[in-house]
Amino acid sequence: MSKKSESSAQADLQTDEKVKKAEPVVAEDQHEQSAPAAEKDAENSSEKKPAQEKKVDYQKLYTELQQKYDKLEDKYLRAEAEMANMHTRFKKEQEKLLKYDGQGLAKEVLPVIDNLDRALKIEVTDDASKQLKHGIELVHQDMEKALGANHVTKIKALGQAFDPVIHQAVKTVPVEKGQKPETVVEVFQDGYMLKDRVLRPAMVVVAQ
């Protein structure tokens, strides 16, 4: 073999060795290039999963918030209704206080009226006593007028049917001629009312 042929064969061998050495490098480069792509795919898949999970969590959160809102709304409506009821009760109590304003004073005056009534029942003969009795009578009229102006009125009792709401029976007597059963035949003490409220029931004698 000539020297030229030998040099050509050596050149071919060297070329083959370079090709063999270059092939793994290309494979490694391809592997290195494919690895990031796989990692990106994995990242994309991992990103998709939490997105689906977040959607389910949002739905659950919405349901919980809706339940809390419903409870708060119910409490608010109950509180509002209670406030309205309290306002109504307060208004009624205030109206009642205004309606029966002066009740305490009226009760304090009633004994004075009783004493004037007793004084007027006393029989007098001399002029001085008559003048005194007339003065008491005028005071009695003024007192009754003042009470009437403040809606305090005397309870009708004598000859009326007995009513346990406005009458207090302190004694019972047999029914006599011309009398009806369960009728007031005598009044021991007058009763009074403030509008529609009984200040003091009349103390009466009832025929039975």
At 48, the pLDDT band (50, 70, 90 cuts) reads: low
At 26, the pLDDT band (50, 70, 90 cuts) reads: very low
Query: What's residue 165's pLDDT?
Result: 93
Going from N- to C-terminal start, the domains of the chain cover 36-99, 100-207
Query: What's residue 107's pLDDT?
Result: 87
Query: What's residue 106's pLDDT?
Result: 85
Higher pLDDT, 126 or 94: 126
Q: 113 to each of 109, 116, 133, how far by Cα in Å?
A: 7, 5, 14
At 47, the pLDDT band (50, 70, 90 cuts) reads: low
Give the pLDDT mean for 99-119.
86
User: What whole-number distance in Å separates Cα of residue 100 and Cα of residue 133?
Assistant: 33
pLDDT above 70: residue 69 = yes
Superfamily of structural domain 100-207: Head domain of nucleotide exchange factor GrpE (2.30.22.10)
At 61, the pLDDT band (50, 70, 90 cuts) reads: confident
Lowest mean pLDDT among 19-33, 118-132, 138-152: 19-33
176: tokens are 């006599």
Average pLDDT, the chain: 79
Give the pLDDT mean for 53-74.
81
Per-residue H/E/C for the chain = CCHHHHHHHHHHHHHHHHHHHHHHHHHHHHHHHHHHHHHHHHHHHHHHHHHHHHHHHHHHHHHHHHHHHHHHHHHHHHHHHHHHHHHHHHHHHHHHHHHCCCHHHHHHHHHHHHHHHHHHHCCCCCHHHHHHHHHHHHHHHHHHHHHHHCCEEECCCCCCECCCCCEEEEEEECCCCCCCCCEEEEEEECCEEECCEEEECEEEEEEC
151: tokens are 């809606």
165: tokens are 């709401």
User: What whole-number distance in Å separates Cα of residue 170 and Cα of residue 161?
Assistant: 15
Give the pLDDT mean for 162-177.
92
Q: 57 to each of 46, 50, 54, 62, 65, how far by Cα in Å?
A: 17, 10, 5, 8, 12
Query: What's residue 179's pLDDT?
Result: 86
